[in-house]
Amino acid sequence: MGHDFIKIYSTIPDEIKIKLNLRQYLCVFEEKNNIFAGKKYYYEDHPHHRGSDDTLLHAAGRMIPIIVNLFLDNGSDDPWLMCYRSEPGRFQLPTGISAVLRT
């Protein structure tokens, strides 16, 4: 399965997909499918492009709190999850991140 987001998505039970509202991220999973299997940086193959796309980072930033709550609501006593829930401000994305950064 590796880094194939679509294959990973397809293995998630429908009940979990609904609870996590993952369907809204399907276009991100499709666009970023296998992103980690190729070059580390997009511009290695595209020298005209300077910057990065943080769409996946923002999707993760929206999914993580929902996943944390799902685990905790189902009885997890993981210390990191409990810390995340009690101090969510410590884990927020930095402000000012744009969809594409250009240098």
pTM over 0.85: no
Longest dimension (CA), the chain: 49
Q: What's the domain range around 82?
A: 5-101
pLDDT in tens, 58-101: 888 888 999 999 999 999 999 999 999 999 888 887 765 544 33
More confident residue, 83 or 40: 83
- For residue 40, name the pLDDT band (cuts at 50, 70, 90): low
Domain count for the chain:
1
Residues 6+ apart with CB under 8 A from 16: 22, 70
- For residue 35, name the pLDDT band (cuts at 50, 70, 90): confident
